[in-house]
Amino acid sequence: MKKTLIAYFSAGGVTKEVAANMAKASGADLFEIAPEQPYTGADLNWMDKQSRSTLEMKDRSCRPAMAAKPDVSGYDVILVGFPVWWYREPSIIDTFMESADFTGKTVVPFCTSGGSGLGDSAANMQALAPGAKVLDGKRFTRSASAEELKKWAEQF
């Protein structure tokens, strides 16, 4: 049986809720990709061209520091959840992908969004972890059922 980790970054709580429900339904372990410096409401104001999140997303080399480094060594599958920012994964997900050795692991992104999909996130993540097998992921809404989350998480 494959050992699965659900790693997630959540800015407003939706991704955290979906990831926790997915972990509970599937029996996977859970890891929060938390920024070393938490985001404030002002940091997340995407309409402010000088907000922290806007500046991070404009700079593809930006790597916000994480509060804790993950240990993925005991896992076969890592499901990586995040809200969609600017039609892709937030920069802290790039930090996560560069923070550990994903060689031989299956990595599958999932996002929470009211409408936007994953965009180029899987390709971006693959480039950051070339030894991993990064698959196309899925978009979930806050209302995703436990059965839907379990079925999706257990297919890898």
Q: Is 118 helix (H, G, I), strand (E, B) or coil?
A: coil
Q: Are 106 and 78 in contact (CB under 8 A)?
A: yes
How far apart (Å, rounded) are the C-alpha atoms in residues 156 and 152? Answer: 8
Burial class (CB in 10 A: 0-12, 13-18, 19+), 98: exposed
Residue (of 27, 35, 33, 28) closest to 6 by Cα position: 28
The domain 4-153 is placed in CATH, from the list 3.40.50.2000, 3.40.50.700, 3.40.50.360, 1.20.1250.20, at 3.40.50.360
| pLDDT value of position 64 | 97
Q: What are the structural domain ranges in the chain?
A: 4-153
Mean pLDDT per 10-residue segment, the chain (156 residues): 94 96 97 96 87 87 95 97 90 97 98 88 97 97 95 96
